[in-house]
Structure 1
Amino acid sequence: MEIPTEFILYHTAGCHLCDKARALIAQIPYLIVKEIEIGDSAQLMDCYGTKIPVLFSTKTQAALNWPFTLQDIIQAIQVDKN
C-alpha cells in the first residue's frame, strides 16, 4: 500500500484546465489533494492567477504549474517521498 502524499491544488471556479488537472489527479488514488480557491484571496490571485492550476507539495514546497502531465505528478510524488 502506498503512503498517502499530500498536495494542494490551487484553482478557480470555471477553470477548464483545473478540471483537466483534477482528472489527472484522480488517476492516483493514494494522492491526498486539498483544493484551494485562489479567487478568495488577493494574495493567492497575485501569486497563482496566471499559473493555475498549480499542484503544490506541502512537504517540499515545490509547485507544478500547468501544463503538467500524469508523469510530472508521479515524479513530484517521488521527490516528495525522499
Structure 2
Amino acid sequence: MALILYQRDHCHLCDLALAALAVARVPEFESVFIDDDDALEARYGLRVPVLRDDARDADLDWPFDADGLRGFCGLE
C-alpha cells in the first residue's frame, strides 16, 4: 500500500487528519506538504488534507474519521 497524506504547514485540519490516522492505526504513510509545489497546489489546493492510495489510484478527501480510514485502507 502506497499511502500519501497531502497536507499544508500550519493546517488545523491536517493535524486532525494525522490524529485520525493514528486512531485508525494506519501502519505506514508518507506526508507530503503541498505549500511550495505548484502542481500539487493545483491538484489538491482546497481539498487538503487528502489521503491518496497510489496503488489503487484513489483519494480520500477530508473530512474523514478513523472508521472511514480503516475502510479506505482495508483495515477492517
TM-score (norm 2): 0.88
Output the amino acid matched with 2:14.
Answer: C
Q: How does 1:53-72 map to 2 (within 5 A)?
A: 53-72=49-68
Instruction: Point out where structure 1 has 5 or more consecutive residues left out of the alignment.
Output: none
Q: Matched residues, percent identical? A: 32
Q: Which residue matches 2:12? A: 16
Higher RCO structure, 1 or 2 (CA under 8 Å, sep 6+) = 2
Distance 2:42 2:18 in 1: 22
What is the TM-score of this pair, normalised by structure 1?
A: 0.83
Contact 1:12 1:38 in 2 (8 A): yes
What runs of 5+ residues in structure 2 fail to find an aligned partner? none
- Counterpart CA distance in 2 for 1:30 and 1:11 is 16
Aligned residues: 75
